[in-house]
């Protein structure tokens, strides 16, 4: 390697190991991978949610539901699974790695994937339903 002289900019490398202080602790990246595996393994019917329709042992399903179904709609979606695994990682750190800080991970998925509900109504749906409603019940057509 050639020496480029003292005025040559120094290379600075951030330590890539900073936020992992315990062997076996998961980073946000690991958690994303685990979430993907988790969904691939447990979403047996491939509808992007873990529900009682998936062929899982009931006891396991109940634990997953009670721990991870944040909005209690009976479906554990990928985003709920991700949050749930972050929570599990922090529980693990409390137990096995108390000197480390909790991990906070932003959802790695497209927001709309996490925020929309499969059967939610759009404004257009509501508008249509309102029109139907009036058409049905406003018998004398006076609005």
20, 27 contact by CB (below 8 A): yes
Q: Minimum distance from CB of 85 to Ca ion (Å)?
A: 15
Q: How far is the CB of 129 from Ca ion (least distance, A)?
A: 24
Name the minimum Å distance from CB 132 to Ca ion: 29
Provide the residue count of the chain: 143
Determine the Cα–Cα distance for residues 3 and 55; give it in Å rounded to an integer. 63
Binding site for Ca ion (CB under 5 A): 43, 45, 47, 54, 69, 71, 73, 75
For Ca ion, give the closer residue by CB, 81 or 105.
81
Judged by beta carbon, residue 70 or residue 129, the one nearer Ca ion is 70
What one-character DSSP code corresponds to residue 17? T
Report the residue number, 30 or 83, with the smaller CB distance to Ca ion.
Answer: 83
Pick the closer one to Ca ion by CB: 77 or 93.
77
Burial 84-108 (b: 16+ CB within 10 A, else e): bbbeebbebbeeebeebeebebebe
Q: How far is the CB of 31 from Ca ion (least distance, A)?
A: 18
Q: Say whether 62 sits in a helix, a strand or coil.
A: helix
């Amino acid at each position: 390697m050639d020496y480029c002289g003292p005025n040559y900019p120094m290379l600075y490398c951030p330590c890539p190991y900073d936020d992992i202080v315990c062997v076996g602790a998961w980073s946000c990246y690991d958690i994303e991978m685990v979430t993907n595996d988790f969904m691939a393994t447990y979403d047996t019917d491939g509808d992007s949610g873990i529900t009682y329709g998936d062929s899982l042992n009931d006891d396991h399903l109940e634990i997953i539901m009670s721990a991870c179904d944040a909005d209690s709609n009976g479906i554990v979606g990928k985003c709920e699974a991700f949050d749930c695994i972050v929570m599990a990682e922090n529980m693990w750190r409390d137990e096995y790695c108390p000197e480390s800080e909790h991990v906070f991970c932003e959802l790695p998925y497209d927001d709309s994937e996490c925020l929309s509900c499969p059967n939610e109504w759009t404004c257009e749906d509501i508008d249509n339903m309102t029109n139907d409603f009036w058409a049905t019940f406003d018998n004398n057509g006076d609005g």
